[in-house]
A = this chain, B = another copy of it.
Amino acid sequence: MTALADVVRPTTFVESQKLRDELGLDITIASEAFQHTGSFKFRAAYNVVSSVPNDELLTASSGNFGQALAYASKLLGKKCTVVMPETSAQVKIDAVRLYGANVDLIDIKKISRNDRVAQLAAEMPDAYYASPYDDKFVIEGNATLGDEILDRNFDVVIAPIGGGGLISGVITSIRRKGSKAQAIGAEPLLGNDAARSLRAGELVANESEPMTIADGARTVSLGKLNWPIIKDGATDIIEVTDDNIGSATRLYFGMANLKCEPTGALALGAILEDTSRFRDKKICVIVSGGNVDADVYRKILG
């Protein structure tokens, strides 16, 4: 079995002088848009599939984790089932099928994803259920991105936050390396459960799936494994307006020739919320992925 380190593509560091001049900041981009399946989720997924003894995997994801788990399962010769709402974009359903996984389409008005996963788990007792963010193998996989970034000695690493798996990986890496870098989360203001949790000192959930443009961060709450890691390890969580997510997506396009998905632009969006606090710091912004429909992207550029 090929180890994660031998399969994963190194992250792409982009240093754009134009972007640096525009913001007046020492900023470096770590982009996972060229990772297998187009997002950092492959690190998590491959680590799950290669670490568990099960020959079958099960998850619920309409986004990047579904594709990543499907492809990792294909590479490792395991079966994979991905639960998706039947209203998911056809291109995303097709992508999961392209990687050879079984797609289980549900009508979310009739059954919740969690309930359907519970049904399937009962039908497939030998399958491993992989949460897209709340799983120790997911955090460990994501920590490999942290390792690549921390080798470059940044003062601040800013990561998008949805379920919290990515920043938990970065914090895990900071700890094991004894790095002094600060880990800062970037969360959509429209779904600011993580920021509210950090303020309250306890895990707070959104009432429903937040309808932010950053569709990869439409999570109701942080993962239970991630929350204590983030509570102790995150310096701050910055709430980002959808306007600034759009502006950051356009800045990446115009100043760095980088196509990224809205969720991937969260970290730069967090900087746009208050550039002054990042002066004189060596900053890394993580672009978590690049998978965005042409129509959505055209609207953001327009």
Interface residues of A (CB under 8 A from B): 9, 12, 14-18, 21, 33-34, 36, 38, 71, 95, 98, 250, 253-254, 256-260, 290-291, 294, 297-298, 301-302
Contact = CB atoms under 8 A, between A and B. Distances in A.
Nearest to A95: B18
A50 B262 CA distance: 40
Contacts of A257: 33-34, 38, 259-260, 290-291
Most buried by B among A16, A98, A256, A257: A257
8 contacts: A12-B12, A18-B98, A21-B98, A33-B257, A34-B256, A38-B257, A253-B297, A298-B301
A301 B294 CA distance: 6
A302 B34 CA distance: 23
B34 A294 contact: no
A164 to B, nearest CB: 24
A148 to B, nearest CB: 15
Q: Which residue among A14, A18, A38, A290 has the maximum number of chain B CB atoms within 10 Å of its CB?
A: A18
Query: Which of A98, A250, A291, A298 is most buried by chain B, counting CB atoms within 10 A of its CB?
Result: A298
Contacts of A254: 294
A9 B17 CA distance: 12
Nearest to A294: B301
A36 B294 CA distance: 27
A204 to B, nearest CB: 34
A215 to B, nearest CB: 16
Contacts of A21: 98
A188 B205 CA distance: 55
Contacts of A17: 36, 71
